[in-house]
A and B are shown apart, each in its own frame.
Chain A
């Protein structure tokens, strides 16, 4: 898999007062994955630099099944583990005592779904987006690079999964939550991914479960 390096630019997002009508690059493209960034080129994050980043205007799913909620969830995994049920479009953050926080997610479209066991290897705020070459090949109209920010399909936060090109990230299209539209990434509404980001540590185990296939 091709790895593209770029120097992560720090995005100070006082523009976090997000206008989600801004689907600047959407043009029907619903597929987002990000090229892995070598750790040498990590964004540096300075929490103190970011007053106002977490805006009250951030979109969260407010009702229905994809609203973030506490649910009963039996698991022998330690608290802090993420369990993703691709076919149900849910991400569970295990809290222990047979309960979990459940978030609605968008998942990979058919042919782009996967399962496995990985770790969160890195976290980033308002990540840049560099579509990998195979994605450009499929969707030539995509930009080659897009700086992080409210119009970016990667959304407000990204959790990098192992050494894969896949992420748990935000989105500039919260209406796609609950659907199978991505190139294999898992997306949450920005307000929800910000919440998840605050609860998940680098090194957390991520279990991706997919329904049995015939």
Chain B
């Protein structure tokens, strides 16, 4: 409602903001979008360096799975994916930065948990990547399941949730293992090479990244088993549901685009489509974008900038990247995964 009054015009926008304040909404409400539009740039909190997810090149260009989400949001708002200011944040600083307003969204491989929404005043806008703890197995090509790891020597990082999950999993399944504590992943790779352990357990995305460092080893398997849930996604402050909706629906739009067959390359062709659901997506039929304060081309602009979900995944962490992570749970619900987005209607 509020956003539909405001669309396009700065003067009306200010009036509407005043109105919003008068009718008792907190100043933060509905201000993030207008702040971002006035500023002309989206402040996006990202990981300083995580291969595949967020990295900065020598020339200062940011790229990665989480970075592409920032670009998609900027494209949906400004029709221009370059209007992003990336704010690299450590794990400890990330939620503070969001609460204080120094970033508009946090797109930094953060796990969606109850505590973070309940105690920190954040809202997770959805899941962009279903991660989970898994096992990398070396020198045992016959192993096909984590249930066959009885008696294995397993490297695990000290004082992590992985260590606890590992203990729980083996206890639950009445199996024994020999724990080999390492300080970090690099030490784990050394331990594997030296045969101090044959298995390394960590989040699956990290295992694929570390596997790149094991080029000399044959028979390296990353098991499809996942023993914990690590749903990663973008977060916003909880006091601005209008903004939260925008972030949430940009994510849904990228997933729906893949389901509809709309790609970066076919974005122009999509406008000529005869299919009603494709036409709704490109904004030619109806004005869904305006209902969340954006223009009617918001969704197709996001896809034009970074591609659909499948393209983003493939380019950064999937088949077209060095990580080559299988889609797994991150396949669409219709093709063997659990990725599901409500319809753009």
Contacts and interface: CB of A to CB of B under 8 A. Distances in A.
The answer on A and B forming one complex is yes
Interface of A: 64-66, 69-75, 83, 85, 88-89, 92, 98-100, 102, 178, 209, 211-214
Contacts of B259: 212
B229 to A, nearest CB: 13
Interface of B is mostly: loop
10 contacts: A65-B318, A69-B326, A70-B144, A71-B326, A72-B326, A72-B328, A73-B336, A75-B336, A83-B336, A99-B224
B121 interface: no
Interface stretch (B9-17, B183-191, B234-242, B260-268): B260-268
A73 B269 CA distance: 32
Interface residues of B, number: 30
Contacts of A66: 319
A214 B326 contact: no
Interface stretch (B81-89, B194-202, B270-278): B270-278
Interface in B285-338: 318-319, 324, 326-329, 331, 335-338
Contacts of A71: 224, 326, 328
Nearest to A210: B261
B326 to A, nearest CB: 4
A70 B336 contact: no
A92 B318 contact: no
Nearest to A209: B335
B313 to A, nearest CB: 11
A99 to B, nearest CB: 5
A102 B262 contact: no
B273 A214 contact: yes
Given A69-B221, A74-B338, A83-B336, A213 B261 contact: yes
A214 B261 contact: yes
B20 interface: no
Contact of A72 (B273, B318, B329): B329
Interface string B198-241: 00000000000000000000000101111000000000000000
Given A70-B221, A74-B331, A211-B258, 12 more contacts: A65-B324, A65-B326, A69-B221, A71-B326, A71-B328, A72-B225, A73-B331, A88-B319, A102-B326, A211-B261, A212-B259, A214-B261
Interface in B28-82: none
Nearest to B211: A63
Interface of B: 144, 221, 223-226, 258-262, 266, 269-270, 272-273, 275, 278, 318-319, 324, 326-329, 331, 335-338
A98 B329 CA distance: 10
B278 A214 contact: yes
Contacts of A212: 259-261
Nearest to A62: B218
Enumerate the 10 nearest inter-chain pairs by beta-carbon distance, A residue then B residue, closest first.
A212-B261, A72-B224, A65-B319, A65-B324, A72-B328, A71-B326, A214-B273, A73-B336, A211-B261, A99-B224
Nearest to B263: A211
Candidate in A92, A212, A214 with the most chain B CB atoms within 10 angstroms: A214
Contacts of B226: 72
A145 B221 CA distance: 41
Contacts of B327: 88
A104 B122 CA distance: 41
A212 B328 CA distance: 20
A64 B324 contact: yes
B266 to A, nearest CB: 6
A155 B269 CA distance: 38
A66 B260 CA distance: 25
Nearest to A83: B336
B228 to A, nearest CB: 14
A186 B32 CA distance: 50
A201 to B, nearest CB: 20
B221 A214 contact: no
A74 B319 contact: no
Contacts of B338: 74
A214 B262 contact: yes
B237 to A, nearest CB: 34
B257 to A, nearest CB: 10
